[in-house]
Amino acid sequence: MSVGGSQPIFILSFRHRDELTRTVEAAGWQPIAARRAANAEARFAASSAGVAIVDARGALAEGLDAVRALADAAEANAAALIVLVSRTDAEALDRVHAAGATHFLVSPFSDLQLLQTVRFAQRHADRVTGGYRAPRRSGDAGPPVSSWRWEPGSRAVELSPALARRVGLGETAGARISLLDLFRKLDADGRRAARGAVERTIASGRATAFAHSAIDEAPERLIHHLRIGEGGSVIARTETLFPDDAPAQSRDAMTGVRDARAGRAWIDQQLAVEGTSGLVLILVAVSRFDAINAAFGRAVGDAVLQAAARRIERLVDADGSQRLVARVAGAEFMVAIAPPTGLAEGGFIAAQLVEALGRPFMSGDHVVTLGCRVGVVAAEPGDDAASLLRKGSAALAEAKSEGGPIRVIEGGAEVASGLDDRLEVDLRRALDQDEIRILFQPQISVATGRVIGAEALARWQHPELGELGAMTLFNVAERSDYLVQLSDHVQRKAVAVAAAWPENLRGLRLAVNVTAQDMKRPGFAAQFLDLVEDSGFAAERLTVEVTETGLIEDLNGAASLLAELREGGLRVAIDDFGTGYSSLAYLKALPLDYLKIDRRLSEDIVGSPRDRIVVRSVIEMARSLGLDVVAEGVETEEQLELLAREGCNVYQGFLCAPPVTVDTLAALVAERA
């Protein structure tokens, strides 16, 4: 009877590997088996198995060493660790437990007893993870799996994206290579081992394995774990076995990226090359990770951290030779870039990381929003990994303490001019060449569930860095003399696009942001009203949103400007309420129609009773003043239910949709009509 459910299981047996492999494979498990303890921790972490078996029968000392080596990886991955011991070693169970084992089985035992022990161990692992174990096969959930499939009689082999990339075919799903071409990439011993293993697997139907030197002549070896799949196909999962003297290849048990030891070794190797200078180190600290663990549990937190690692890897395009990603500790990662490079490139990548990690993550039914702080430094003559990491930590500490999100430091002093100058030049070009586009985030009626409006949001389609969000865009503009030009460009484009909306969007409201700098401009209200009239967009369907921080300096002037806009038919919203001073004076003195509560208040609604009291008070205050309440950043049904119960009228956030194009918005409106 099959009990394994095709789940991977890691086996380390010094004397009985093949027998154990056949037993668990026959029960439906996918064994990843080893005879030697070398690199056992990295191999287990890469296997994504929820259960590891260490067979210490007749090899107690070696078995205990292996358990100690695997214990941290097992704990980090919430995995079970079974130890098999001989009857004569039963008195050593205290030492087995102390080494980190979670389960044991004393010989002699039957195959059925072994499988039942594995089943109990798997249940233990599933309970620890809350029934959820993030797969490590594709997408954001884990490191890519290297595998291949061959149908007997076929002349081609189908490769996974990771293996296709390894053999030079590009990372393409379902890539195929002729069997002859694949064999040509192996040496003579590797070809003989491959043929023999495939023939044994087909003849016996049992799992087996073979190993050979790496295809690209690297020092590591590749091990192929073969089994028979559905329809009689031969399926192989490939793992890389690094030599003992390759510390730069060791992996973090949780995320699958390189670990701190590997990161330090890689940096030292790069800096040891004569004449090398300019290596760039980027330290990334993921924000709010402890809060995610507390709110959703460790399983969700672990899955989100793994997804964050995948985003960093993809963005950096880490290849292990010129660029490396490693987990330093906790929710902190390092990105190291080999020369030739410089702080300008490091700053660009840092900006991309901020954008990438700021996008929501999905974990099961949860939508989780993170952020990050980033420190960027470059190596100088005489630096080693330790000194460079100290400088990087100092830059990261500044980013955390001063509000960040990015600190670029050279020789102990912040360097921003090179990055800023480059981005300012790029921004001028972006305005001239129309690289800034407008997306629309739907605003939903809480009462009806229909889309009643949309907020216009800017996105910068940078030719090198890809899509950059409004935060990066306006931060660059604020450091230059282009904030007014950018704001005017975004407002004009948003209103113009909305004026050309298709028929089923003609009833929606449009919300456009107005900056504090705009409000200081002489004649801004009249200019903005002329812009709306010239566009043909109905003024009564337009809302201007201004953040409370833009009102602090001149409350009376802000009140006059907003009153003029309302006289022209527009509606006015105070945006991000709850992030700054949140003065009641604003609500009393300003001519407002809407109050938009910040996403952090939307998150707090599902927090402690004190958090809910604060959110309830804000909503009640707004309602008592005749203002409709719009909630930003709504990401879960629970948030929406509680906000609706407290009297919130409208919401926007990833529960409905992220910022979308006009076509997607039209489809969403039709769907919810």
So where are the chain's domains? 8-128, 144-241, 250-415, 483-657
Reply yes or no on whether the pLDDT at 364 is more than 80: no
In the sheet with 80-85, reading across from the earlier edge strand, the strands are: 30-34, 8-13, 51-55, 80-85, 103-106
**pLDDT tier at 438, thresholds 50, 70, 90:** very high
Reply yes or no on whether the pLDDT at 426 is more than 80: no
pLDDT of residue 502: 94
pLDDT of residue 543: 96
Average pLDDT over residues 532-540: 94
Reply yes or no on whether the pLDDT at 541 is more than 90: yes
pLDDT of residue 3: 44
pLDDT of residue 480: 64
CATH architecture group of domain 144-241: 2-Layer Sandwich (3.30)
**pLDDT tier at 587, thresholds 50, 70, 90:** confident
- Whether 215 contacts 166, CB under 8 Å: yes
Cα–Cα distances in angstroms (integers) from residue 32 to residues 22, 83, 133, 228, in the given order:
11, 16, 18, 14
Residue of 611, 644, 614 lying closest to 629 (CA atoms): 644
Cis before 522 (ω within 30):
no
Residue of 328, 477, 324, 466 lying closest to 396 (CA atoms): 328
**pLDDT tier at 2, thresholds 50, 70, 90:** very low
**pLDDT tier at 452, thresholds 50, 70, 90:** very high
Mean pLDDT is highest, among 122-126, 186-190, 199-203, 419-423, for: 199-203
Mean pLDDT is highest, among 98-112, 278-292, 408-422, 612-626, for: 98-112
Reply yes or no on whether the pLDDT at 301 is more than 60: yes
Q: Hey, what CATH class is 483-657 in?
A: alpha beta
Tens of pLDDT, residues 614-661: 788 888 888 888 899 999 888 888 888 888 888 899 999 888 888 899
Reply yes or no on whether the pLDDT at 245 is more than 70: no
Average pLDDT over residues 543-551: 75
Residue of 324, 332, 354, 334 lying closest to 286 (CA atoms): 332
For the chain, the average pLDDT equals 79
Q: Which of 112-116, 385-389, 646-650 has the lowest mean pLDDT?
A: 385-389
Average pLDDT over residues 590-604: 81
Average pLDDT over residues 160-182: 68
**pLDDT tier at 667, thresholds 50, 70, 90:** very high
pLDDT of residue 598: 78
Q: Where is pLDDT greater, at 25 or 491?
A: 491
pLDDT of residue 130: 45
pLDDT of residue 605: 76
Reply yes or no on whether the pLDDT at 669 is more than 90: yes
Reply yes or no on whether the pLDDT at 265 is more than 90: no
Question: Tell me, what DSSP letter sits at residue 108?
Answer: S
Mean pLDDT is highest, among 30-34, 193-197, 427-431, 563-567, for: 563-567
CATH of span 250-415: 3.30.70.270
Residue 393 amino acid letter: S
CATH architecture group of domain 8-128: 3-Layer(aba) Sandwich (3.40)
Helix (H/G/I), strand (E/B), else coil: 43: helix
**pLDDT tier at 133, thresholds 50, 70, 90:** very low
Percent share of the chain, pLDDT over 90: 19
Average pLDDT over residues 290-319: 77
Average pLDDT over residues 370-392: 84
Q: Count other C-beta atoms under 10 Å from residue 630's C-beta.
A: 27
* Strand 406-410, strand 146-150: pairing: unpaired
pLDDT of residue 127: 67
| Calpha distance 112→564 (Å, rounded) | 82
Residue 169 amino acid letter: L
pLDDT of residue 138: 33
E strand segments, 550-667: 571-577, 594-597, 628-631, 650-651
Q: Count other C-beta atoms under 10 Å from residue 19's C-beta.
A: 11
Give me 333's structure tokens: 């990662």
| Calpha distance 348→111 (Å, rounded) | 57
| Calpha distance 525→518 (Å, rounded) | 9
Residue of 34, 44, 31 lying closest to 74 (CA atoms): 44
Distant-in-sequence, close-in-space partners of 366: CB < 8 Å, separation ≥ 6: 296, 300, 636
Residue 386 amino acid letter: A
| Calpha distance 333→350 (Å, rounded) | 12
Q: Where is pLDDT greater, at 125 or 95?
A: 95
Reply yes or no on whether the pLDDT at 542 is more than 90: yes
Reply yes or no on whether the pLDDT at 202 is more than 50: yes
Question: Tell me, what DSSP letter sits at residue 253?
Answer: T
Claim: this prediction has a pTM higher than 0.75 = no
Q: What are phi and psi of 315, to 5 degrees?
A: -65, -45
Residue of 621, 615, 616, 561 lying closest to 585 (CA atoms): 621
Q: Which of 165-169, 215-219, 639-643 has the lowest mean pLDDT?
A: 215-219
